Structure 1
Amino acid sequence: MISHIDHVVLTVTDIEASVAFYRRVLQMEAVTFANGRRALHFGNQKINLQLLGQEPRNRAAVGSGDLCLITRWPLSQVVAHLQAEGVDIVEGPVAKTGAQGVIQSVYFLDPDQNLIEVSVYPPQA
């Protein structure tokens, strides 16, 4: 029935600070849509940003996000980039299981304490 995830939403304390972080650290494209809402676009997906209380249909909380993002970069390059950007790695590199099998991951926190996992699948033989 479901083919893929189109977007997820993170609840943040400062939308523009989050946009700046994700642009700088994860090289995502900032976009504006629907009455000035902000999002971060990458690949065929996006992360919409909202302030606490902005969306009354959910029970979102600041810092409750936990995302796994797949990269094409070698994980060593991701780690070096995070270090160069002053981002503290809270775990990894470490082996985990992704939607399609074994992945190698590093974890860090965004400015609102959302847990961000950047992972790579091993090369196909």
Structure 2
Amino acid sequence: MTLETSGQGRIAFRFGNQKINLHVRGKEFEPKAHLPVPGALDLCFMASVPLEKVIARLQEMNWPIIEGPVLRTGATRKIRSVYVRDPDLNLIEISEPVN
């Protein structure tokens, strides 16, 4: 895992194509964990299928998308992402690479 800074001073741990975003207390960026406290998660996963299939499956399951699809800076390249919350209200970003 490596520590990286990107964008407007965003910090993340990167491992391969995945990353864990870190938020500085009082300077959290949106979207963020529901309750940004120690132990709250903000995870980004690269989908193994096109993002449209992910979106369709989320809609099929009535799982709310809280933001997206939006373009972002990923661990290794530009990505297109949707954001959801897991049952514990952690923020989960599901992404695909942008060519």
The TM-score with structure 2 as length reference comes to 0.60
Q: Is the 8 A contact 2:77 2:98 kept in 1?
A: no
Supply the distance in 2 between the matched residues of 1:77 and 1:4 (Cα, whole angstroms). 25
Greater per-residue helix proportion? 1
Quote the residue 1:81 is aligned against: 57
Distance 2:38 2:77 in 1: 29
- RMSD over aligned CA atoms reads 2.3
Q: How many residues align?
A: 68
C-alpha separation in 1, matches of 2:56 and 2:69: 12
AA aligned opposite 1:91 = E
Structure 2: gaps spanning 5 or more residues: 3-13, 17-36
Q: Is 1:117–2:93 an aligned residue pair?
A: yes
Counterpart for residue 101 of structure 1: 77
CA distance in structure 1 between the aligned counterparts of 2:68 and 2:15, rounded to whole angstroms: 27
In the TM superposition, structure 1's runs of 4+ consecutive aligned residues that sit over 3 Å from their partners are 1-5
TM-score, normalising length from structure 1? 0.48
Higher CA-based Rg: 1
Percent of counterpart pairs with the same letter? 44
